[in-house]
Amino acid sequence: MSAQRYPYYLANVAQAPNADLEVIDKYHGTLAARVALPDAATIERAIAAAVAAEAPLRALPPYARQQILEHCVARFRERQEELALTLCVEAGKPIRDARGEVTRLIDTFKVAAEEAVRIDGEVLNLEISARARGYRGFTRRVPVGACSFITPFNFPLNLVAHKLAPAIAAGCPFVLKPSEKTPLGALIIGEVLAETDLPAGAFSILPLPGDHAAALVEDARFKLLSFTGGQIGWDLKARAGRKKVLLELGGNAACIVDGDQRARLDAVVERMIFGAFYQSGQSCISVQRILVQREMYAGFRQRFVTAAAALRMGDPRDAAVTLGPVIDAAAAARLRTWLDEAIGSGARLLCGGKGEGLLLPASVLENLSHAAKLWREEAFGPIAVLEPFDDFDAALRTVNDSGYGLQAGVFTDSMAHALRAWDALDVGGVIVGDVPSFRVDNMPYGGVKRSGLGREGIRASILEMTEPRLLVIREQADASH
C-alpha cells in the first residue's frame, strides 16, 4: 500500500485530525493502516456541504460530469495494482479476485461516464381526449439532491463505485460511509475524486462505525439513502423518514442443473466452483444451494467435491490461493456453528470442515434439512449445499423456498425451461447458462423479498437518483382569427 495513514474526505478535502481507526491485515492479523475517524461535528458539516452543493452540481453540464468520471477511469488504471493489493490487505481478498474487482471499478466509472451524457427526457402526447387538444408535454430528468450511501466490506471498491459513479453522472452530491473494516479502497477513490473539478462539498467519505452513522440514515436533508449490507437494512428503512430508500440485502442464491447438461458437466462444475467459493463465498450472489437433476447427481457430486477439496487456502497475495480469510472472527465462529448445527441435524459433510482461525476450507453438504440455517439464511462463506431433483418445476419451487430473492442460475439448453424459470422464479434476476454470481456492471441488479428493494447498475441507479420534471405547454389560439 502507498501509505500507512489515511485521511477521511470532508467536502472534497482530505482531513486527518486523528488516526483513531485501525485497519487490520485480515490474513496476518496485524495492523495495516490507521485512518482518521470523523466525529459528530464532521458528519454535520458533511451533510450541510452536500446540501449546499446541490445547486452547483445540478448546474454542472453533462460533459463536465463525464470528464470527471473519465479522469477517475484514467487514474484507476494507473493505480490498478496498488488498489488490488489494498484489497488483499484490508479485505483478505485473493489477488486474482482483487484484480478482477479493480477491473470492475474501472468498468463502472467508464459506463457512468458514457451515461452522464445520455440522461434524456421524453415528449409526451397529452392529446388523449378533446379537453387536452393543443397541449404538449415534455419531461427532463433532474437530480434528486443530496444522497447518503452506506457500503459493506466485501466489495470495498465496486460496491462503492456503484453508488458514487452514478451519483456523479446524475449530478447528486453525497456522503459515503464505507465499511470501517475495509475503508482504504474508498479513501483511494476519494483521493482521486479530490483531483477533479467537482463543486465544493460535492462529496464526503467518512469511515464510521455503524453505530455512529444515525444521521446518515435519519437526517431529512438527504433525499435518498442507498444501503448495501445485511438485514439491518430494513431497520434503516424504518428510520429513514420520507427520503427514497434503496436496499441490497443479500441472498442465498440457488442454481439448477437441468438434465440436458450431461455432455458439459465438467464446464458446469467449473463455473459452480467459481460461483460458490470465489472470495471465500463472501458475495451476496454466491452459489449456496445447488439443485441437480437426479440422473446426473452422482456424477456432478463426485466432480464438484473433488474440485472443492482441491481449492487452496492461505495468503491472499498468493495467486494460487482461492480461499483467503473470512472478514473477522465473528463471521468464522458463526459459519462453524451453522456447520455443526447442520451436521448435528443429519446433513452429510462431503468435504471441508471447520478450518482454523479466519481460514475456512471449501465445505460441501448434502441431505440438509430445509429448516437449517444453511438453507434458509445467507451463509456468506465458503459453504455449498447439494440436492437432487426429479422434476424441473419442482426444482423451481425449491429455489423459491427461500425468504431471499436476489439472483438464481439455471443451466439448461431448453428454451422452454429457461423461459419457465424467468416466469416462475421470484428473484431479481435469472442467469441462464451460468451461475447466479454473474454480474455485469451496467445491468439492472437487485432483489425481492428479504433481498431488498430498488435496483443498481449504472443506468438503473441514475434513474433512481433522478426524477422526471414535467413541462406542459398549451398552444394559444391566434385571436385575430
Task: Please count the other Cβ atoms lying within 10 Å of the Cβ belonging to residue 460.
Answer: 19
Grid coordinates belonging to 462? 441514475
Query: Which residues neighbour 312 within 8 Å (Cβ) at sequence distance 6 or greater?
Result: 318, 320, 321, 322, 323
* H/E run at residue 57: helix 54-59
Amino acid identity of 111?
V
Nearest CA-CA partner of 186 in 416, 444, 6, 334: 6
Query: Which residues neighbour 474 within 8 Å (Cβ) at sequence distance 6 or greater?
Result: 134, 135, 136
169: helix, coil or strand?
helix
Cα atoms in the 13 Å half-sphere on the side-chain side of 47: 20
Active site residue 88: no
What is the spatial distance between Cα 475 and Cα 100, in angstroms, rounded to a whole number? 56
What is the spatial distance between Cα 72 and Cα 69, in angstroms, rounded to a whole number? 5
Nearest CA-CA partner of 213 in 164, 176, 244: 176
Task: Please count the other Cβ atoms lying within 10 Å of the Cβ belonging to residue 92.
Answer: 28
Q: What is the β-pairing status of strands 254-257 and 466-474?
A: unpaired
Structure-derived torsion over alpha carbons of residues 327, 331, 333, 335, reported in degrees to the nearest 10: -110
154: helix, coil or strand?
coil
What interhelical angle do 62-78 and 80-91 show, nearest 10? 70
User: Which one of the listed residues 248, 377, 378, 387 is annotated catalytic?
Assistant: 248
Query: Which residues neighbour 99 within 8 Å (Cβ) at sequence distance 6 or greater?
Result: 80, 81, 84
Rg of the chain, C-alpha, whole Å: 24
User: Which one of the listed residues 72, 284, 351, 456 is annotated catalytic?
Assistant: 284
Residues for the chain: how many in total?
A: 481
Q: Which residues are catalytic?
A: 248, 284
